[in-house]
Chain A
Amino acid sequence: MSLSQRHLALILITPGLVLVAALFLYPLCFSLISAFSKDGSFTLEWFAKAFELYSTDMVFTVVIVVTSCALTALAAIVIAGTLTLGENRYIVGTLRALYRWPLFIPFIVAAQCMRTFLAKNGLMNNSFVSLGLIEPLQAVSFLDWRGIIATFVWKQTPFVALLLAGALASIDRATLEAGRNLGASRLRVLIELALPQVMQTLLVALVLSFVTMLSVLSVPLMVSGSQPTMLTVDMAFRINAYGDYATANALGVITYLISAGAAILYLRRGLSQEAPR
């Protein structure tokens, strides 16, 4: 008796499916139900509470994550563009060796580094002072929303740059060369010829970064004070201080909707690009 291909495949994926169901789907459904119910009946009370207490933080979270994404995209384009179109061997070589490093550093370590780097009397300001760029009294602490953005951008840029550089390397060099031959500057070749061809990859990388940044707890907790703060901190606080899972779950659903928003933007763009073809 032998198993058919189909059965074998089913058996092989069963452990994976069970894991996904037990560790992801079950808790997800549980959270959704808890966010929308009180004593077994449907309610929006937890959402009302979430908005009453944390509306500022919701706006703050979106602004932080969107700004970080924009800056990450910019930095990644500069790095990937230099790697692909750069003509100075040394610059390209050094950059290639260096740019991936932050990928291997966990968020929590990055946050701790930034705490000492960006503080008022931290490494950055002290360096500026000793270089004579600023006076000691002019030094300001960046340990607030700017610190969160700096950490996010620093941490996510290599990820986006890695994907982007890969995509740029695989596009047809002939078009780029043609552009150069016709007298376009490298910047213009990058923006008008290369980038449009890899826009899809850039968007995928940015959507993934968006979701990652939305879910980080350590960075806002460690880098900035708590007012305002990101929704992850509020969720942790709801659970830790009050044991209030319902409101925390409501905040989770709101976070989920925000990230779904990013996904929808991405999908709509993807569809509209494919439609005319």
Chain B
Amino acid sequence: MRILTIACSLAALMAASPLSAQTLNVASAGDQNMVDYVKDFLGPMFEKANPGVKVVSVGTGAGDSGSQKIFEKLDAQKGSATTDFDVVVIHQKAAGQMVKDGLLDKYTANVPTAKLATGEAAKNALGTDVSGYVIPMFQSQTALAYNADMVKTPPSTFAELADWAKKNPKQFGYNGIKGGMSGVSFVAGWVYAFGGDAEKLMKGPYDAATKTTWDKAFADLKEFNKNATITPGNAGTLDMLNRGEIAIGPVWVDMFYSWQADGKLPPNMKLKLISPGMPGQPMYYAVPAKAGQKKLAEAFIALATSPQVQADGIVKKFNWYPGIDASHLEGKLDKAAWDKLFVDVTPADLAKNGKAFPIAPYFNDILEGYEKKVAN
């Protein structure tokens, strides 16, 4: 089986390599680190393996808005022979939409490493069946970061957090829903905790009447916000934690560890994934339906999702959880690098409290409900 896998990837590489002097355009939604990852790490590696190929990496911006821009570009180029992008790195919400609109290629059968990603995220993007169209690049998770010097016993549920915030006004900070996904994740977690049936929100089916049952949760959140600090963005929350202006705030786990590794966060910061849980999400590798360099794109994704690259690039360099199943990374990663990811948020925490975002229609209902009942 393993030999077959290697043979397949070799065949894919060989099929791609005669196509020399070509350009592979990779568009990434997400923060600058995603663009740099392709430009500085994956790109050179792929160029070395495929002489004459040039990898061009462009970023379209952080958060769902970056994916929205890719969506709009592909949609606008529907009528033309080829699109400008050969590989796109997108969020879940846009991935579902793009599959529905026929903008993506069903390519994963041609990529041997697709078999290594068997998690729910490889098949289901916020309620849309995306199997065959995407391979996860990485998985990320939000959690509460807290200053262990200022908070001796951190809250472990949303209810405890609400109490804590009441007793420590302005010491909890998050970025609302317009400044980045960690705030969106906190709000989704709040609705999971106080809005009733969280399972239904993540799995569907969608029932438009459900949103009326969230009124109490939103009213409480509005009250909660009076004691909270609204920060400007994901980085803004980390900034304020760093300066000691807030003591607790929701952050992306990978950003947290990267900042800590760069010395931009003091070592007394810790993470906690509180119950009933907060959402995380993967980013996907996908190939546009009208990509000009499909073979190259498939070879590129095969490389990017191979266990070694996932270990060296995704886990070691960027502190993300791997996109393929973690069991395939065994032996590729030293224990220290692996354990570093699970210091504060243990695999057990992750299994119990690492949630998915709600399916797309509920997701929009939550955001709009927040705008209507909490922010306005």
Contacts and interface: CB of A to CB of B under 8 A. Distances in A.
B232 A241 contact: no
A222 B179 CA distance: 9
Interface string B54-80: 000000000111001001100000000
Contacts of B178: 226, 229, 233-234, 237, 241
A53 B68 contact: no
Interface in A189-227: 221-227
Contacts of A52: 372, 376
B19 interface: no
Nearest to B371: A53
Interface stretch (B223-231, B273-281, B311-319): B223-231
B368 interface: yes
A228 interface: yes
B376 A241 contact: no
A53 to B, nearest CB: 5
A237 B231 CA distance: 16
Nearest to B244: A121
B375 A225 contact: no
A141 B245 contact: yes
Interface string B90-122: 000000000000000000000000000000000
B123 to A, nearest CB: 24
B159 interface: no
B245 A240 contact: no
A226 B176 contact: yes
Interface in B220-252: 225, 229-233, 236, 239-240, 243-245
Contact of B179 (A141, A225, A239): A225
A113 to B, nearest CB: 14
Nearest to B237: A225
A243 B368 CA distance: 13
A258 interface: no
* Chain A contact surface mostly: helix
A229 to B, nearest CB: 7
A111 to B, nearest CB: 9
A227 B65 contact: no
Contact of A56 (B175, B230, B375): B375
A256 B231 CA distance: 29
Given A56-B376, A226-B179, A226-B375, A241 B243 contact: no
Contacts of A242: 364, 367-368
B243 A143 contact: no
A228 B368 CA distance: 15
B177 interface: yes
B111 to A, nearest CB: 29
Given A120-B243, A143-B232, A226 B177 contact: yes
Contacts of A223: 232
Of A56, A223, A225, A236, most B-chain CB atoms within 10 Å: A225
A240 B376 contact: no
Interface in A57-110: 57
Contacts of A233: 178
B368 A53 contact: yes
A155 interface: no
B68 A243 contact: yes
Contact of A221 (B179, B183, B375): B179
Contacts of B175: 225-226
B65 A115 contact: no
Contacts of B177: 226, 237, 241
Contacts of B230: 224-227
A240 B375 contact: no
20 contacts: A53-B368, A53-B372, A53-B375, A53-B376, A119-B243, A119-B245, A120-B240, A120-B243, A120-B245, A121-B243, A143-B232, A226-B178, A226-B179, A226-B232, A228-B375, A229-B178, A237-B177, A241-B64, A241-B65, A241-B68
Interface of A: 52-57, 115, 119-122, 141, 143, 221-229, 233-234, 236-237, 239-243
Given A227-B375, A236-B65, A241-B367, 11 more contacts: A53-B368, A53-B376, A54-B376, A55-B376, A119-B239, A121-B244, A225-B230, A226-B179, A227-B176, A227-B374, A237-B178
